[in-house]
Structure 1
């Protein structure tokens, strides 16, 4: 009985304790304090990112870093080192993609912001991910707090720490080639040799003059290089670059103390004939460095300076690569922070026939002029020549100042791209005027007009202004065929003034006057007049035969004459081979009208004494007689040609060379 009682007491005690515990659990306790929320860090984060992208490190340091960050790194690391690395690695165009998390923002918890940092560098694009933490700190007692960033050097480069050293290994890429329609290289790369000497092994008294002659330098140039402060007797001093000319190389290496290093050099096999199209490459200038900031260029790099080398610089240059190495002083090891592969530049294929281009250029014999040949059915440019020209190879590896000055002083202006300019066309304009008038319905090709005398004016109000024709003895009546054969300016003036309102102006605009061609190489637009309109009816009348202020671009001229072959369709001129064909204008006139003009141009060619179909013109001036030809070869019929020679009358002879088999 005693044991049972004790058990019961124990149970009672347990129940009593449980009851007490329930009572305590039910007793309310003071509420825990809610976490204190603060304003969103987004405005501060946005300002931080903007200043970071702009490289405003001073402001970031003064206004946006936590005190702990400042204490750990100081201005020397955050400001000075970042600026040094920006310059050393050409870091620029920093792009920061970031996203803020969800509210609430708590006073005692950091706001972590995931970042993706992308920027250009001397070894190409760098991209890496980081998390930037913003901490809420009170700026002074009693004042409202603000968000500040926790920063370390790994936000400059991955794995970068204080006291590390940074090195760069740049891997150059091969510049892309420019080739013609047949795959022949017009701007490419060839093996060459950098030539230098070791001063301690080089007898300056005996060999400087000989070395200077072989390197196309002056003795003073060589002395200047060897006398630079850094040069020691055992140092290698680079002096110049020569191509793979075995005879020259053998003569160079016969000089004691010379050394060579194999390099790649730009080469222009077609020289002057394609110079205004290819352009050339040369060392980058300070101005170009500034213009291309953020694109990975540095001092000593080469860049396209003219022509297609400049226009397609990005494509030809390719993708530069290399490594950024970090020497970890604390761990006594070197790691690779960035490793970018290279990619060769693109090949730019032209529609130009390089052999034909060179043939035409040589036929011009350095006389000032320009020529173009286009396929009227596709728009492809086979020839676009400017004469005289310079040799792009003179700029590789660097043009001598004396040679450059010689080119600048040349009265033929070899740097002037005549194919991009415009010139007064005279009678070459007449078939275009005829086409516009026929389209308007005001010119009946079979209807003859009686024209008497050498000069004409429509109204006496023209005062002393009169239209003069070159062949007043042609028998009346004068129809379109006779007018084109004999370049009858009066006939075309009458046709132009017979068109109602502004229809002649509108018709010429349809042919492309006043609009620059959409073409990789910038070309001046052909013009009706300086104002783009006719100031008087007399000006309109004289413009019908290419007088007054009418100016034609050579490629545009070839394209317009191509419409006579293509039955009134004008194709967009193409220079790059993979460009899609495009019709600029259709139905400028109909097939029947095209045949009428072709027939007349056949007779005009025969009248001028050559086998080509087209128009010639000679413009007399104090500087000489400017000669024009525009037309095509009836035996071939796949190229429309225009030639302008500034002081040579027989432009047709240049065009004939274009079609000959020689």
Structure 2
């Protein structure tokens, strides 16, 4: 009996289950709806990236952020925080590398776009990866919907959250040195001391005047620093920098409240003699800050302001590094968002001989002029000097306004780099005219011509224009050697006008006239005239002896005279050591023709009473007698030199100092 009931119960259960199964089988299953696709987010993402790079934060917030992002971050947070961090960290030149994936794009699923964000900063380049999600949302203005960005602060800096505090630790690098051909430092670094005070320990009434005198400041300068808004009684306030001077330092530290910090200071051991080469460093100007935007510079940074310090700023500066720290207020911890290593600046090695340059500068006696000496076989610049000059050490750590005005108002213009200018050469031009005529084949060095009288003109159509020779007593026939020794302007005018068509112009162009050198320092090109051509045959004739509008740069002059030592080869000028040697022109004339000019140069030196070979010239100007020498020492022959003094007749005597120790 019990077993039967149990069976029946089980059977009943089975029937009920079966009935249920039949009902379920008869109930239709609805088909799954197809996901709704929408247009690609790429056009919207592209517009977002462009606005982001341009810093158009207001437009981004109003038109491109999701409602969730807007509710999480106020417009003030979104805009002002980014702007403040850009200023604090000198963020600039933001670049965003991004790529949208392939279709389909689903309405209810985010579109994830991987980004690589890079930008420059006060500690160098920052680069990090992020994924920016775009969400499709319907708005009152656009019921069909549009893509919006899901933004948060970590797109400004890695791991940044709202409420965090950001700080930076900068690792400055040591500026690279500039050295001469022998490794002697001409722009380097030396120890110094930054001097400051702690206001709470400093008695301004009793000691400000004394401190100002020791720091070469005014009382007003110190007052201005101590009264800045950020200054508190316990703060250290830097006031000035001094070089190691035990007596001065002892007097400074005898003043209660003073403190010192050891720092590195730029130093120029050769001072004025190298000023126009080295230049100097100083706080960056607003103009330079704009020019170097995106290179990690900020207000107050030091930068090369003139000469090689400016030209090689990137190499000398090195790579600045440091850390960007984020104080996570919610977690009570500080993390490193960015950690960039630093690298010291490079050493720039020059071909200049610093000792020789200093000696020539001293020989010039602060009188206005310039000098250059080059190796005619390599093009290496051994000397390139301008006088008078300023002392670049005056600019470190900062030049006094009174001293700057004194230099700026000096009638001899110590800031003007005469080595970069071009000047009328007079008779120094004659050997170049001869070289062109010899190459053209219209001048035979051994062939003499008859020249009578003091003046000459080729045609009566020249009217009153005539060429005047300085020494009408030269015996006929006049050959090249006599013409060079006696600076016979008529001889060279005849040779120039004997050349056909534009041969003289073309020959001078082969010597480098009209073309600025590819050289680290910007030098004026030598010119045959303001237009680069001769306007008349009379102008051509007078230009043969460096008259009319002919202008020569001092370095170019030394290089051209070097061709007479190098048998007709003109070298490219070199200033940086180990630069590749290069001929600007080969075979400007033959070795035999070079020898004939060298013989005339030596004879000219004998006639003028010095042991150098070359040409001299004295030009009457409103300011005095401009004097030239170009040539070399025939006993040595490893340097070709040129000297120009604006009001000094003994240019050859100054040039002689170039060869004393050779």
TM-score, normalised by the number of residues in structure 1:
0.94
TM superposition shift of 1:103:
1.4
Deviation by residue 1:300-339 (Cα, 9 ceiling, x = unmatched): 1111100011111111111111111111111111111111
Which residue does 2:520 correspond to in 1?
520
TM superposition shift of 1:205:
5.3
Which residue does 2:464 correspond to in 1?
464
Which residue does 2:68 correspond to in 1?
68
**Cα distance, 1:113–1:201 mapped onto 2, change above 3 Å:** closer
**1:101 is paired with a residue of what secondary structure?**
coil
**1:238 is paired with a residue of what secondary structure?**
strand
**2:507 is paired with a residue of what secondary structure?**
helix
Q: How far apart, CA to CA, are the structure 1 residues paired with 2:224 and 2:85? A: 32
Deviation by residue 1:553-584 (Cα, 9 ceiling, x = unmatched): 00011111111111111111011113211111
Matched, 1:346 2:352: no
Deviation by residue 1:407-456 (Cα, 9 ceiling, x = unmatched): 01111100000000000000000000000000000111111110000100
**2:655 is paired with a residue of what secondary structure?**
helix
Matched, 1:167 2:150: no
**Cα distance, 1:233–1:59 mapped onto 2, change above 3 Å:** closer
Deviation by residue 1:360-405 (Cα, 9 ceiling, x = unmatched): 0000010000000111111110000000000000000000000000
Which residue does 1:211 correspond to in 2?
211
Q: How far apart, CA to CA, are the structure 2 residues paired with 1:463 and 1:309? A: 54
TM superposition shift of 1:253:
2.5
Q: How far apart, CA to CA, are the structure 2 residues paired with 1:582 and 1:37? A: 66
Q: How far apart, CA to CA, are the structure 2 residues paired with 1:24 and 1:204? A: 100
**2:621 is paired with a residue of what secondary structure?**
coil
Which residue does 1:46 correspond to in 2?
46
Which residue does 2:410 correspond to in 1?
410
Q: How far apart, CA to CA, are the structure 2 residues paired with 1:76 and 1:141? A: 24
Which residue does 1:333 correspond to in 2?
333
**1:617 is paired with a residue of what secondary structure?**
strand
Which residue does 2:655 correspond to in 1?
655
Where do 1:101-500 residues align within 5 Å? 101-140=101-140, 143-204=143-204, 207-228=207-228, 231=231, 234-500=234-500
Q: How far apart, CA to CA, are the structure 2 residues paired with 1:510 and 1:94? A: 47
Q: How far apart, CA to CA, are the structure 2 residues paired with 1:132 and 1:313? A: 38
Deviation by residue 1:6-49 (Cα, 9 ceiling, x = unmatched): 9xxx9xx99xx9xx99x979x99765433222221111111111
Q: How far apart, CA to CA, are the structure 2 residues paired with 1:99 and 1:203? A: 64
Q: How far apart, CA to CA, are the structure 1 residues paired with 2:438 and 2:28? A: 105
**1:564 is paired with a residue of what secondary structure?**
coil
**Cα distance, 1:90–1:629 mapped onto 2, change above 3 Å:** same
**Cα distance, 1:472–1:45 mapped onto 2, change above 3 Å:** same
**2:282 is paired with a residue of what secondary structure?**
strand
TM superposition shift of 1:207:
4.3
Q: How far apart, CA to CA, are the structure 2 residues paired with 1:422 and 1:407? A: 22
Q: How far apart, CA to CA, are the structure 1 residues paired with 2:142 and 2:359? A: 87
TM superposition shift of 1:63:
1.4
Q: How far apart, CA to CA, are the structure 2 residues paired with 1:230 and 1:130? A: 37
Deviation by residue 1:478-535 (Cα, 9 ceiling, x = unmatched): 0011101100000000000000000100000000000001100100110010011000
Which residue does 2:97 correspond to in 1?
97
Q: How far apart, CA to CA, are the structure 2 residues paired with 1:377 and 1:142? A: 77
TM-score, normalised by the number of residues in structure 2:
0.94
Q: How far apart, CA to CA, are the structure 2 residues paired with 1:303 and 1:456? A: 57
Matched, 1:605 2:608: no
Q: Which moved more, 1:239-248 or 1:368-377?
A: 239-248
Q: How far apart, CA to CA, are the structure 1 residues paired with 2:131 and 2:224? A: 53
Q: How far apart, CA to CA, are the structure 2 residues paired with 1:607 and 1:196? A: 65
Q: How far apart, CA to CA, are the structure 2 residues paired with 1:221 and 1:139? A: 60
Which residue does 1:3 correspond to in 2?
none
Which residue does 2:3 correspond to in 1?
none
Q: Which moved more, 1:537-546 or 1:201-210?
A: 201-210
**1:620 is paired with a residue of what secondary structure?**
strand
Q: How far apart, CA to CA, are the structure 2 residues paired with 1:235 and 1:336? A: 26
Q: How far apart, CA to CA, are the structure 2 residues paired with 1:439 and 1:661? A: 35
TM superposition shift of 1:213:
3.0
Q: Which moved more, 1:535-544 or 1:633-642?
A: 633-642
Q: How far apart, CA to CA, are the structure 1 residues paired with 2:636 and 2:25? A: 111
Q: How far apart, CA to CA, are the structure 1 residues paired with 2:235 and 2:133? A: 51
Which residue does 1:567 correspond to in 2?
567
**Cα distance, 1:82–1:586 mapped onto 2, change above 3 Å:** same
Q: How far apart, CA to CA, are the structure 2 residues paired with 1:195 and 1:623? A: 47
Deviation by residue 1:35-81 (Cα, 9 ceiling, x = unmatched): 22222111111111111111111111111111111111121221111
Q: Which moved more, 1:536-545 or 1:292-301?
A: 292-301
TM superposition shift of 1:240:
1.6
**2:192 is paired with a residue of what secondary structure?**
strand
Q: How far apart, CA to CA, are the structure 1 residues paired with 2:88 and 2:208? A: 36
RMSD: 2.2
Q: How far apart, CA to CA, are the structure 1 residues paired with 2:629 and 2:271? A: 26
Q: How far apart, CA to CA, are the structure 1 residues paired with 2:576 and 2:366? A: 27
Q: How far apart, CA to CA, are the structure 1 residues paired with 2:477 and 2:198? A: 86
Q: How far apart, CA to CA, are the structure 2 residues paired with 1:222 and 1:66? A: 53
Q: How far apart, CA to CA, are the structure 1 residues paired with 2:188 and 2:77? A: 45
**Cα distance, 1:232–1:137 mapped onto 2, change above 3 Å:** closer
Q: How far apart, CA to CA, are the structure 2 residues paired with 1:202 and 1:68? A: 55
Q: How far apart, CA to CA, are the structure 2 residues paired with 1:605 and 1:287? A: 51
**1:565 is paired with a residue of what secondary structure?**
coil
Where do 1:577-596 residues align within 5 Å? 577-596=577-596
Q: Which moved more, 1:62-71 or 1:185-194?
A: 62-71
Which residue does 2:505 correspond to in 1?
505
**Number of aligned residue pairs:** 646
Q: How far apart, CA to CA, are the structure 2 residues paired with 1:191 and 1:80? A: 41
TM superposition shift of 1:232:
5.2
